[in-house]
Amino acid sequence: MPLKVLYQGRHIFEQLRTELRQLYDTEEAEAIARWLMEDFFGLKPIDFITGKPPDLQGWSKWQAALPLLSRHVPVQYVLGYTWFAGHRFAVGEGVFIPRPETEELLALANNFLQQNAHQAPVIADLCTGTGCIAHVLALTHPQAKVYAFDKSPQALFYARLNAEQLKASTIVQQADVLANEFELPLCDLIISNPPYVKESERAQIHPRVKDFEPVQAIFVPDDNPLLFYHAIAKLSTAFLKKNGWIGVEINPTMAEAVAEIFSKAGLAQVAIHRDFRNNNRFVTALRT
């Protein structure tokens, strides 16, 4: 490649975007190309205009990354991190990658805490994964006591690493939500993004997800797809304080079923919420 092209950020971006379009749809290729331009070459979009020279060591990083991306390794695993609610979270093999939809569940929780003016709320995040929900809540509400639970050793590694890197006061503990002996402190708020994709839906899932991310954090059996919501509803009725709030992320096909579970458990003001893609994605309720 001619030297004058090597030094032009816009040309580098165009090359990355062209190659990424072989692997991703147009919109996603664009977003990933911008991300890699900043991570590999040290250039933000504004730098294309100002003519800031790229870090040419980025070429070796790109050449190492492209074969992995071509094998459908998630870009977040390749880079070792992702962004969630404006915070950088370490990720890697064995932990579920946070999704932008989950930021909306976080927003619902924040709205409840703000509207109810809790001075020192007790919060539990079940199936925490990277700890993304728990840690952002702990950072946003420093007076809160936030617990994060997961049964996966790999997930707990990243949850604890992220707590350390973000300086979040979250209490990370190993526990299985489905275990009969699982207990919580009395909580003002319980939140969870549990596994909810049916095994029969596996064929529809991109290899980037089903071949690399931990299956135990994604899939549930077809003959009992709501097992996590039954367990969470039971825990909520036992460990939520009066007027406490519960919010969960769901499979859009199971919205009414999850709402019914919460209603039958005695929870009140059960509501289904849509995500930014207009899919039924969250169910919330109160313990009265």
- pLDDT per position as a tens digit, 216-253: 999 999 999 999 999 999 999 999 999 999 999 999 99
The verdict on 148 and 273 lying in the same domain is yes
Q: What is the mean pLDDT of residues 126-134?
A: 98
pLDDT > 90 fraction of the chain, expressed in percent and rounded: 90
* Residue 231 identity (one-letter amino acid): A
What's the pTM value of the predicted model, to 2 decimals?
0.94
Going by pLDDT thresholds of 50, 70 and 90, the confidence category of residue 7 is low
Q: Which residue range(s) make up the domain with 38?
A: 3-71
The verdict on 67 and 133 lying in the same domain is no
The verdict on 24 and 125 lying in the same domain is no
Going by pLDDT thresholds of 50, 70 and 90, the confidence category of residue 180 is confident
Residues in Cβ contact with 64 at an 8 Å cutoff, skipping those fewer than 6 apart: none
In a domain, 35, yes or no: yes
Q: What is the mean pLDDT of residues 157-172?
A: 98
The verdict on 21 and 128 lying in the same domain is no
In a domain, 277, yes or no: yes
Question: How many domains does one find in the chain?
Answer: 2
Going by pLDDT thresholds of 50, 70 and 90, the confidence category of residue 263 is very high
In a domain, 76, yes or no: no
The verdict on 10 and 117 lying in the same domain is no
Q: Which long-range contacts (CB under 8 A, 24 or more apart) does 62-67 make?
A: 62/16, 62/36, 65/36, 65/40, 66/19
Q: What is the β-pairing status of strands 219-220 and 187-192?
A: unpaired
The verdict on 61 and 98 lying in the same domain is no
Looking at 71, 105, 125, the residue that finishes a domain is 71
Whether residue 87 has pLDDT greater than 70: yes
Which residues on adjacent β-strands are paired with residue 198? 220
In a domain, 222, yes or no: yes
The verdict on 259 and 125 lying in the same domain is yes
Number of H helices, E strands in the chain: 12, 11
The residues assigned a catalytic role are: 96, 193-194
